[in-house]
Chains A and B, each alone.
Chain A
Amino acid sequence: MSRTASDLAVWERARRGGERRSVAVRLRRARSAAVPYLFVAPVLLFLGALLIYPVVLNIIMSFQDRQLGNLISGPAKWVGTRNYDAIFHDPVFKSAVVHSVLYTVISVAIQLVIALMLALFYSRHFRGARLFRSLFLVSYAIPIVVSAQVFKWLLDGRGMVNSVLQSLHLQDQPQYWLADTRLALGAVIAVQLWLGIPFTMVNLLAGLSTIPDELHEAAAIDGANAWRRFWDITWPLLRPTAAAATILSLIFAFKNFDLIWIATKGGPGNATTTLPTLAYQTAFEQFLFGRGAAILNLIFAACFVLALGYIFSLRREERVA
């Protein structure tokens, strides 16, 4: 941030004001004890009405029989845990859990390795490194819906991926990557990987930039090779950043509805149904809002556990730093 002339004028006024600070200020402070709450009140009202109340309403609805007829108004029958029982006995729910876990864990694990290699490569000083680094983020700026649509074309039967693989003689028949029950989950995992790499990479680059070059130079003089320097210097210092970025990536992948909805709508069959798409379909296509709410609460619980992990890793990072 550059200091402009007006900023300097503000500083100057502040300095003079500081000298004049007196009883008057203390009086004013006492009177303004309520002020902080007025600053925060709009946000609390807003989030109370549109975030906390919906979360509570979701919990209530998950114990009710809510369908289209009684969704907005009208009496709702309390059904105890019947929505949850129905979910747990539903084979589609079980496969959605499996898909969500595979989708999240596999994409984030590979993403971490690739992003780490890219971050190590682009953290070095060479012409164009800064430009290339920020170019990766283009994929973050554009809507997921757009990326998903483009990959849908690339992975189409007549798409680019097939023609490349066929011209390299890696396959003789075109594969319907997103329409084949055996391939679809792997294909959307690959796209999720593409979506997630820039986020992890930028965070790792930020972490790498805080590691002083002198450490590497000193180790090099002592005869440590690049491999040893990575494991003994870079990785231990990078680990808190990597941990925080990984947890955020897990959440990002776990809750990604847009990609799967555009690419496959959970299909073919239920081959790519994950918890978010199942919740959407249950509530907005089958109009079983109570049961949909129950699935959402389970998603919420999973995200909450991950969120606690994130906050925990932040605390640890602060203590280390």
Chain B
Amino acid sequence: MRRLPVSFSTAVGFLIVAVYLFPIYWMVTGSIKSQDDLFASPPQLIPIHPQFSTWSQEILHKPEVLEYIRNTFIVATGTMVLALVLAAPAAYALANFHMRGKSLIMLFCLSSLMLPAIMLATPLFVIFSRVHLTNSLLGLILADTTLALPYAIVLLRPTFASIPKDLAEAAQIDGSSSFGAFVRIVLPLARPGLATVGVLSFLWGWGDLVFALTLTSDESKRVVTTGLANFFGAFATDWAGAMAFCSLAMLPPLLVFVFAQRQVIAGLTTGGTKG
């Protein structure tokens, strides 16, 4: 199997990736093409007359677009922080302490992984309406965290289980409380697992459409996904503008991915689907 010449495999491997990622390339180049070049026949694989007027008109001079980005940042970061703060102690306890109902909680978390966001959207709309959490970014953070948490616990438990118990016990002998030992000794050692959970909850918070669509309606609370969903008016189709918006919405998750590939891969191989 390994007798193929190295360069041949590399060429084929590159070609497959290039075809697979072509839509993303097409999106980015589409955002810097003029309307004529956009529909040129044969299609213009490399933009011949790159121009940035779409970006300046549709993105930079539209304060609402920048507000979507800001809102999405708040939601994604909030989801990440809240998921970590809540899940880490719980996963630690589930990994290291003897307690009743442990396997029941794990089973509950595992089965919650499958819960579609749309399943929670209707009841959360009712509940949030009663406590005035609709049309608020905090409400979105809470909703997104609900689905990030079970996954965070499932992923973090083995991380904490792999850290020797003696470490925390030693710290407690030195006078720390269990929680103090957890924060100062165990948490730093769990960094790789925490990073994976952080990255995946950020990506999930960034990309959520269902909760944003159902729990917010104010223009001022719009995020990138709902902004994109409402991008086109009834009939107008400004594809260059849409592609510029898409490129912008893709940029932060792409950067996260570039700098945290290992965490994304680790998360994906432990049951991380999204949506």
Using a CB–CB distance below 8 Å, which chain A residues touch chain B? 1, 6-7, 10-11, 13-18, 20-21, 24-25, 28, 32, 35-40, 42-44, 46-47, 50-51, 53-55, 57-58, 61, 71-73, 118, 121-122, 124-129, 132, 134-147, 149-151, 153-154, 156, 158, 160, 163-164, 167, 194, 197-199, 202-203, 206, 216, 226, 229, 244, 248-249, 251-252, 254-258, 261-262, 276, 279-280, 283-284, 289, 292-293, 296, 299-300, 303-304, 306-308, 310-311, 314
A150 adjacent to B26 (CB under 8 Å): yes
Of A140, A146, A167, which contacts B42 at CB under 8 A? Answer: A167
Contact count A vs B, C-beta below 8 Å? 336
> A207 — nearest CB in chain B belongs to which residue?
B269
Beyond A32-B178, A38-B179, A304-B114, 6 extra complex contacts between A and B, CB < 8 Å: A17-B169, A124-B9, A146-B249, A252-B273, A283-B122, A303-B115
Of B41, B89, B107, B229, which contacts A311 at CB under 8 A? Answer: B107
Q: Whole-angstrom distance between the alpha carbons of A262 and B209 in the complex?
A: 10
Residue B75 lies at the interface, judged by CB distance under 8 Å to chain A: no
Return A310 CB to nearest CB of chain B, in Å: 7
Residue B268 lies at the interface, judged by CB distance under 8 Å to chain A: yes
Q: Whole-angstrom distance between the alpha carbons of A163 and B38 in the complex?
A: 12
B13 adjacent to A257 (CB under 8 Å): no
A72 adjacent to B129 (CB under 8 Å): yes
B254 adjacent to A141 (CB under 8 Å): yes
Q: Whole-angstrom distance between the alpha carbons of A71 and B126 in the complex?
A: 7
A46 adjacent to B86 (CB under 8 Å): yes
B111 adjacent to A311 (CB under 8 Å): yes
A132 adjacent to B170 (CB under 8 Å): no
Residue B233 lies at the interface, judged by CB distance under 8 Å to chain A: no
Return B251 CB to nearest CB of chain A, in Å: 9
Of A1, A16, A146, A203, which contacts B250 at CB under 8 A? Answer: A146
Using a CB–CB distance below 8 Å, which chain B residues touch chain A? 1-2, 4, 6-7, 9-10, 12-14, 16-17, 20-21, 23-24, 26-27, 30, 39, 41-43, 86-87, 89-90, 92-94, 97-99, 105, 107-108, 110-124, 126-127, 129-130, 142-143, 145-146, 149-150, 153, 164, 166-167, 169-174, 178-179, 182, 185, 188-189, 191-192, 203, 206-207, 209-210, 213-214, 224-225, 228-229, 231, 237, 239, 242-243, 246, 249-250, 253-254, 256-257, 261, 264-265, 268-269, 271, 273-275
Which of chain A's residues have a CB closer than 8 A to the CB of B178? 32, 35, 39
Of B149, B171, B254, which contacts A142 at CB under 8 A? Answer: B254
Of B4, B90, B110, which contacts A40 at CB under 8 A? Answer: B90
B43 adjacent to A46 (CB under 8 Å): no
Which of chain B's residues have a CB closer than 8 A to the CB of A129? 9-10, 13
Which of chain A's residues have a CB closer than 8 A to the CB of B41? 163, 167
Of B127, B174, B264, which contacts A13 at CB under 8 A? Answer: B174
Which of chain A's residues have a CB closer than 8 A to the CB of B129? 71-72
B166 adjacent to A18 (CB under 8 Å): yes
A206 adjacent to B249 (CB under 8 Å): no
Q: Whole-angstrom distance between the alpha carbons of A13 and B213 in the complex?
A: 52
A1 adjacent to B10 (CB under 8 Å): no
